[in-house]
Amino acid sequence: YLEPDTYQQIKHELAQRRETRERFVKQVEREIRRELDKAGIQGEVEGRPKHIYSIWRKMQRKGVPFKEIYDVHGFRIIVDTVADCYAVLGLIHNRWTPIPGEFDDYIARPKDNGYQSLHTAVIGPGGKHMEVQIRTREMHEMAEQGVAAHWRYKEDGGKYDASFANKVAWLRALVQYEEEEGSDAEQMVENIRTDLFSDRVYVFTPKGDLISLPAGATPVDFAYHIHTEVGHRCRGARVNGKLVKLNYQLQNRDRVEIITARRGGPSRDWLNPNLGYVRTSRARSKIKSWFRKQDREQNIQAGRMALDRLLKQLNIRIGFDEVARILEYDTVEDMLSALGYGDLSTERIAGKLIDLQHQAKLEAMREQAPDEPDILPPQARPGDRDVKIRGVEGLEYRMAKCCHPMPGEPIAGYITRGRGVTIHRQDCHNLLHLSEREPERIIDISWGIETPTYPVTILVKAWNRAGLLNDITRILANEKINIRGSTTKSNHRSPFASIILTIEVKNVSQLTRVMDLIDRVANVISVKRTRGNQHAG
């Protein structure tokens, strides 16, 4: 195990409560079945044990100890219809008190892999916390068996479902395209997800044949579905007898006719996701394959123009050789060629460069901060009882700026030379370095009574839009969180915005909750806590 002590601790906690937990599960199962019977809802109820790894993951994600994990007691309710799911949710919330912030509707908003279910956490009998999952039988099969749940044999003699052969052929073709394209496994999974879990649109060829495509498909997608060469030579399209743009989104019952040239190839613009020419991975793979086979110098020149245009848009000054090094290409030419034929996207480059730019700015802010904060003697410090120092009394102390520990996080102390004790998070890189060099100066400490609030700085990255900052500050106001300072950075040449907020929170749980809420705001890309005591105002 990577963390054997934590594993044994969780295992010990679970073992101690085993008999009590089993009695609790049976009691709750009976009560849920009673509620279902009263409401006339057919359903299955089962208590489900949580794996130690699952519990540890949730502890890490939420930044809380074992005792604050709500769903050590887990229950699953399987019903017939979606309407029954929401009806059962109402029964559960009416029977027991729901825990704020612990409800997720994966039916209305499925996960990327197609997973659907209602998740809620409530305070059950005896004040014990428990998680309840509610789903239909079809959702349960999908959760347990994945995509294969849709591809089962019929019961009558093991014959295929009507669509089975087509789906297998589609998947086999997709694997072949990805092998030709040379893309990695992660990209292939994304392609499968995009095609498989999309709604469909049904259109007709000029001869009246019915063609099924993912919703949002274009005439270019249609052309490549008919034949690779039709796609390569596509120059226009008529839909229902009228000329349309090649990025027109096909609608159900459209009759589509492709206008082709005698020779030629696809346009590089078709690979630009912002222009909307291509929706399906099949078309995208064939276009990339065509450009890969073209003259390398043409691809390099096209990549050079695309990268130059991107850097000007982002207003970032950096050499092509440095970009190639960051993206781990052997040569600039290899990188530009990959960009030219579409194997490397401008979105990937932009994301990487913006991340590095933010890191550089944060490092600069750390360097500009004063080396040492003012240190008050213990008797004059307003939060004197906030930190207990085992075996050492009367020492001055301060919070380390490198990791800025908060109540609830594991901490340790480093005895400085003439400046008291510096308090670090136990996973702080600086502390680990100090403990190797001077282990005798490391002391055990723990949190005492919490202070009202602690300052912490977070970085929000988002696609810029009107009202973005207002939406974020409204969340903080609703959560009664004070903002010490804020800095918003955006550029009319770039679609991105960065917001650095210094806020006051009581503990890690409150910080985790507010970061989750901000992460759900429209256009927000990421929310991260910065590892330093930066003041953004």
* CATH number, domain containing residue 237: 3.10.20.30
Judge whether 161 lies within some domain: no
Question: Which one of 311, 346, 368 terminates a domain?
Answer: 368
Beta strands in 158-307 (DSSP E): 200-204, 210-214, 234-239, 242-244, 256-260
State whether 138 and 238 are in the same domain: no
Query: Is 96 contained in some domain?
Result: yes
| Domain final residue, candidates 348, 368, 388 | 368
Domain with 93, as residue range(s), is 4-147
Calculate the alpha carbon distances from 253 to 196, 202, 203 in Å.
Answer: 21, 6, 5
The reply to whether 9 and 118 lie within a common domain is: yes
459, 492: one domain = yes
CATH code, domain carrying 459: 3.30.70.260
Task: Give residue 160's pLDDT.
Answer: 44
Q: What is the pLDDT of residue 5?
A: 67
Whether the CB-CB separation of 140 and 78 falls below 8 Å is answered with: yes
Q: Would you state the pLDDT for residue 154?
A: 38
Q: Which two tokens stand for residue 165?
A: 């052969």
Asked if residue 126 lies in contact with residue 20, where contact means CB atoms within 8 angstroms, the answer is no
Instruction: Tell me which of 147, 181, 212 is where a domain ends.
Output: 147
Q: Tell me, yes or no, whether 508 and 423 share the same domain.
A: no
Q: What is the pLDDT of residue 376?
A: 34
Q: How high is the pLDDT of residue 47?
A: 84
Kindly state whether residues 137 and 236 are assigned to the same domain: no
- Same domain assignment for residues 244 and 358: no
Residues 382 and 515 in one domain: no
Whether 182 and 245 share a structural domain = yes
Query: Residues 423, 400: contact at Cβ < 8 Å?
Result: yes
- 373 belongs to a structural domain: no
198 lies in a domain? yes
Which one, of 436, 382, 384, lies nearest residue 414 by Cα? 436
Residue 424 is encoded by which pair of tokens? 């670090």
Cα distances (Å, whole numbers) of residue 177 to 148, 201, 243, 339: 21, 22, 30, 19
Same-domain check for residues 19 and 79: yes
pLDDT at res. 384: 39
Q: What pLDDT does residue 382 have?
A: 37
pTM over the 0.85 mark: no
Query: Hey, is 41 helix, strand or coil?
Result: coil
Same-domain check for residues 231 and 324? no
| Residue spans of the chain under pLDDT 50 | 1, 70-71, 150-160, 162-163, 179-181, 197-198, 362, 365-386, 389, 391-392, 532-537
Q: What's the total number of domains in the chain?
A: 5
At residue 365, the pLDDT reads 46
**What's at 272, amino acid-wise?**
N
Residues 134 and 225 in one domain: no
Pairing of strands 442-447, 387-389: antiparallel
Domain contains 95: yes
Give a yes or no: residue 58 inside a domain.
yes
41 and 126 inside one domain: yes
Residue 241 domain-assigned?
A: yes
The answer to whether residue 156 is domain-embedded is: no
pLDDT of residue 186: 56
